[in-house]
């Protein structure tokens, strides 16, 4: 697969930025490049649709499918409440067709899921146990060569993501070194607060 041009990436980011959200432009470019692949793309947590817009645009370059998972629970600190209707309306307003939406908790969606995942973006429950569960439920479904990206790694006021991701990666590396696990992950890097890993085997 050939990589996207800088112009293609900027066009995708420009479209996504017409939707409200808290995602940064640098990590948006990183996310788009990571997600531009064949297969199934899963997004855990979509808020108003900014990152969904990036994933939908990346998916159509190779005919990939996108599924978004979000129970749309109230957010803390007075953050505007997202709803499925707002999410759909934002995507349609920028000319994008909303992908399949599972408006249920991530753990419940994982029980319904079938098939391998080419790209997984985790930006849902930011608690330590929430991220632990998302990694346990969804990471084993990522195909060899597939990628996981997680948002809010090292965000100053959010400690659960960094703790859960660090423990998961250390455990995966220890298992692989002992030959106890079929999975082996390589860190692809980080942009702003988005970190990514590729499944090597």
Q: What is the pLDDT of residue 172?
A: 82
Q: Please give the structure tokens belonging to residue 190.
A: 């980080």
Distances (CA, A) of 78 to 70, 74, 96, 154, 155: 19, 9, 28, 22, 18
Task: Report how far residue 151's alpha carbon sits from residue 201's, in angstroms, rounded to the nearest whole number.
Answer: 23
Q: Is the dihedral of CA 189, 100, 90, 61 positive or negative?
A: positive
- In order of their start, the domains of the chain are 6-199 (3.40.50.150)
pTM higher than 0.85: yes
Q: What is the pLDDT of residue 96?
A: 98
Low-confidence ranges of the chain (pLDDT < 50): none
Q: What is the pLDDT of residue 181?
A: 63
Return all residues near 171 (Cβ < 8 A) that are at least 6 apart: none
Q: Where are the beta strands (DSSP E) in 11-170?
A: 40-44, 65-69, 100-102, 117-122, 142-150
Q: What is the pLDDT of residue 92?
A: 98
| 91 φ/ψ angles, rounded to the nearest 5 degrees | -65, -45
């Amino acid at each position: 697969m050939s990589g996207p041009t800088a112009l293609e990436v900027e066009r995708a980011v420009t479209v996504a930025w017409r939707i409200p959200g808290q995602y940064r432009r640098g990590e948006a470019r990183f996310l788009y490049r990571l997600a531009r692949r064949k297969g199934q793309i899963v997004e855990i947590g979509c808020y108003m649709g900014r990152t969904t817009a990036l994933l939908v645009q990346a998916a159509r370059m190779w005919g990939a499918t996108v599924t978004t998972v979000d129970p749309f629970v109230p957010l803390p600190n007075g953050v505007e409440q997202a709803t499925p209707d707002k999410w759909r309306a934002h995507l349609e307003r920028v000319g994008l067709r909303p992908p399949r939406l599972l408006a249920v908790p991530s753990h419940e969606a994982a029980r319904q899921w079938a098939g391998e995942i080419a790209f997984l973006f985790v930006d849902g429950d930011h608690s330590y146990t929430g991220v632990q569960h998302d990694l346990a439920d969804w990471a084993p479904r990522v195909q060899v060569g597939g990628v996981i990206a997680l948002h809010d790694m090292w965000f100053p006021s959010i400690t659960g993501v960094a703790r859960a991701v660090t423990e998961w990666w250390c455990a995966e590396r220890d298992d692989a070194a002992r030959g106890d696990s079929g999975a082996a992950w390589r860190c692809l890097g980080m942009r702003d607060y988005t970190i990514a890993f590729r499944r090597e085997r």
